[in-house]
Amino acid sequence: MGIELDDEELQTTPRAAAQTLAGRRVLALTMHAIVGELEGIELVGEDAEAVLIGGADETPETNLVFSYMNLARAFHELEAGAQLYSLHKNRWWQTRNGPLLDAGVFVAGLEYAADTEAIVLGKPSTSYFESALKALDAEPSLTWMIGDDIEADIGGAMAHGMKTVLVRTGKFRPDVVEASRARPDGIISSIAQLPDWLEEHL
Q: What pLDDT is stored for residue 1 in this prediction?
A: 66
* Max CA separation in the chain (angstroms): 56
| CA–CA dist 62, 27 (Å, integer) | 16
Q: What is the pLDDT of residues 108-125, one digit of tens each?
A: 999 999 999 999 998 888
| CA–CA dist 107, 97 (Å, integer) | 23
pTM of the model: 0.83
Per-residue pLDDT averaged across 46-74, rounded? 94
**Other beta carbons less than 10 A from residue 74's beta carbon:** 26
**Radius of gyration of the chain, Cα coordinates, nearest whole angstrom:** 18
Closest CA to 83 of 109, 114, 112, 113: 114
| CA–CA dist 96, 175 (Å, integer) | 20
In the chain, pLDDT over 90 holds for what percent of residues?
A: 61
Closest CA to 92 of 171, 166, 13, 178: 171
Contact by Cβ (8 Å): 85, 121: yes
Structural domains of the chain in order of their starting residue, each with its CATH number: 7-120 (3.40.50.1000), 139-201 (3.40.50.1000)
